[in-house]
Amino acid sequence: MERMLKFFKWRRGAEVDWGIILCVIGLAIIGLMSIYVAAANDAGNATSIMRQVATQSVWYLLGIVVVYCCLQLDARQLWKIAPYAYGIGIALMFLVVIFYSRAYYINTGAKSWFAVGPFTFQPSEVAKPAFILMMGRVITTHNNQYPTHTVRTDWELIGKLTLWLSPVILSLKLQNDFGTALVFCAIFAGLILVSGITWRIIVPAVSVVTAVSSLILWMVTSNFGRNILSKIGFQSYQFDRVDTWLHPELDTTNQGYQLWQSIKAIGSGGVFGTGFNHSNVYVPVRESDMIFTVVGENFGFLGSTLLVLLYLLLIYLMIRVIFETRNEFYAYLSTGFVMMILFHVFENIGMNIGLLPLTGIPLPFVSAGGSSLMGNLIGIGIILSMKYHQTADLRGKV
């Protein structure tokens, strides 16, 4: 009991980055308002509306507890729990392939959710922070072992990181969740860039990735290429998403319906929006993946710009933590969480306005859903803990 009380005790001299907290609170308010609008225009009855808003509010309240718990963890503790967190995350990601929700699989085609009664849980969302912790530990250990970077040691580091990434990608391939795999790859790429690896490896690697991506895109748009991609595991729904991305106007009643409705809804908002809770265009799944359409339609270009600026401010404050930290391990953790949130925002808003293909990636702190919110708030809690423990160490410990 004494240990628990000591764990939750406030440290003398500690400071919390209130800028980050206020940004998250602002996004949470926008999220609750948008979920209310989505529910009010889709559910139709007061009970269902209040249930959706109340459920998300409970997740935010639980998130406060999660953030506070993460705030208590210093670098040494995060270092120790990294392998265990990673192991648990990987185990859950493979277990969900067996014990997945049949109902969600029918609706989404992905084996990514556990379901217990009305409650669902997506393990890949909370596995993201665990993955970042492990990657930060691997990079820090390697750089301490090899203080001077050479091409050989850098390739060795890439090999180590790829080895830890492989089980994640394999489990997501089995889950049929390509969108989440892209998030992990974005985190992986961001950590590679800041790990100190020489440009003689990075520049050719970026060139190869760009060339391969261009080749795949060309293959997706040709019958010959599609036959080859089908044989190596690409699914028909993935081809459909690329088709609707490139030509949404050609199929506005079937595969392209969701994207076309999204573009119509955002466009109908104009500069100032239609007003709070005045939605005239139906968009499927707008309470989660397509929630940006609610902001665009109800609050217009100005409201959407405010949301984007709020994200930019949050990301700026998180990047500032990278430069302020005096701990190499912290710097890699910060980078991982910045890449995680940045990619989510970029992909979600991009797919809502037709710039990127549709994927099942939620908008951080705004979309409905507890798993994604918990994963993002764990990241925020760890980011906050960096300044919290550094200022306490500088000004005196309890």
Which residues of the chain register pLDDT less than 70? 1-14, 43-44, 391-398
HSE at residue 103, side-chain half, CA atoms within 13 A, is 7
Residue 150 to residue 147: CA distance in whole angstroms: 10
Residue 289 to residue 256: CA distance in whole angstroms: 15
Q: Please give the backbone phi and psi of residue 63, each rounded to the nearest 5 degrees, phi first.
A: -65, -35
Burial class (CB in 10 A: 0-12, 13-18, 19+), 128: buried
pLDDT for position 11: 58
Q: Range of 343's domain? A: 2-395
How many domains in the chain? 1
Q: Which amino acid is at 119?
A: F
pLDDT for position 13: 53
pLDDT for position 394: 47
pLDDT for position 137: 96
